[in-house]
Amino acid sequence: MLSQENLVPALPDGTLALTFDDGPGPHSLPIGHFLHEQGIRATFFVVGRSIRETPKILSELQALGHAIGNHTDTHPRLPLLDTAEAVKREVAETHRLIEASGCQPPHLLRAPYGYWTAGLAAILNTDPELSRYSGPFGWSVENLDYRIGLPRDPKVMDSPIHTFESCCESYLKQVREKRQGVVLIHDWAADPEPKLRKQLRAGNRSLEITRWLIPRIKSDFKFVRLDELPAPTARFAPAAAPPLPAPAIQPGQAWANLARLPT
């Protein structure tokens, strides 16, 4: 069953769960092979749009020991969808594509941008197949890796450029300070707006980040997949963000507990 809130597992000290969002893309399989060579298994949250572009990658990732999670079909802000059927379709279509690729879905869900409500959980939990999902899974270590080469905060005038070096160092600093957590890296981009999606894809450095980070932390941490963990109970406290406008999904539908995670 899906939770009413974004969840992040409370991992034991010295334990990390690496997660990759928005693929599969051209970096996904090289990342998967590199991690496999290092004896590390990760979780890849995939988007239907990206699967249709590169349909043969998922089975190879799973064969390398990685878990495949569901990150919706078109990467929308789920609370803004107009109908309950549209919400179900976003998850069900990617579930179908994962199965069609020859993978066994571990039934893990992550909401795009971290937008989630109790109403979404209620809708998806009415479906016999989708109710088997756990999550939605948040994260506790991230650093806007998708904005490398761009102003770190596009809403702030003269915001400094987010560099590869500063991004990597921040990942390393967070991991060493927290000593555990769910790490988020974007192995591709799947934003609905085509121009932005193209821009973010052109600047993707996920393979380089992974190759930079792992040698610096491998000896100090145990790495796990999200589906190898007990049911998460820890709620991630997201950074403050403006509220979404009320969606027109169902008369009387509760849309409480909106959680916004920083991506």
Please check whether residue 2 lies inside any domain of the structure: no
Please check whether residue 154 lies inside any domain of the structure: yes
Number of domains observed in the structure of the chain: 1
pLDDT mean over 62-74:
98
Name the residue type at position 122: A
28 by Cβ neighbours in 10 Å (0-12 / 13-18 / 19+) ranks as buried
Q: Quick one: which of 182, 178, 97, 85 has its CA closest to 137?
A: 182
Domain carrying residue 110: 15-228
Please check whether residue 56 lies inside any domain of the structure: yes
Calculate the CA 24 to chain-centre distance.
12
What does the block give as tokens for 113?
Answer: 């941008």
What confidence tier does 229 reach under pLDDT thresholds 50, 70, 90? confident
Coil/strand/helix, residue 252: coil
Is the pLDDT reported for residue 241 higher than 50? no
Contact in structure between 130 and 88 (CB atoms under 8 Å): yes
Tell me the C-alpha to C-alpha distance, in Å, between residue 125 and each of 92, 114, 128, 155, 209.
Answer: 12, 18, 7, 36, 36
Domain CATH code at residue 137: 3.20.20.370
- Rounded to a whole number of angstroms, the distance between the first and last alpha carbons of the chain is 24
pLDDT mean over 79-90:
97
Span 160-208, pLDDT tens digits: 999 999 999 999 999 999 999 999 999 999 999 999 999 999 999 999 9
What confidence tier does 232 reach under pLDDT thresholds 50, 70, 90? low
Tell me the C-alpha to C-alpha distance, in Å, between residue 120 and each of 16, 70, 107, 124, 194.
Answer: 28, 15, 16, 6, 26
Task: Identify the pLDDT of residue 243.
Answer: 45
Span 11-62, pLDDT tens digits: 999 999 999 999 999 999 999 999 999 999 999 999 999 999 998 999 999 9
Longest alpha-carbon distance in the chain: 53
Is the pLDDT reported for residue 244 higher than 70? no
Q: How far apart are CA 229 and CA 14, in angstroms?
A: 14
Please check whether residue 161 lies inside any domain of the structure: yes
Coil/strand/helix, residue 11: coil
Please check whether residue 248 lies inside any domain of the structure: no
Tell me the C-alpha to C-alpha distance, in Å, between residue 203 and each of 114, 200, 218.
Answer: 22, 5, 26
pLDDT mean over 253-259:
32
Please check whether residue 8 lies inside any domain of the structure: no
Task: Identify the pLDDT of residue 259.
Answer: 36
What confidence tier does 10 reach under pLDDT thresholds 50, 70, 90? confident
Please check whether residue 190 lies inside any domain of the structure: yes
Please check whether residue 10 lies inside any domain of the structure: no
Quickly tell me which residue has 């549209």 as its tokens.
Answer: 86
185 membership: H or E segment, kind and range: strand 180-186
Please, which residues have CB within 8 angstroms of residue 16's CB and are 6 or more apart in sequence? 141, 175, 180, 181, 182, 183, 217, 221, 222, 223, 224
Residue 245 backbone dihedrals phi, psi, to 5 degrees? -65, 155
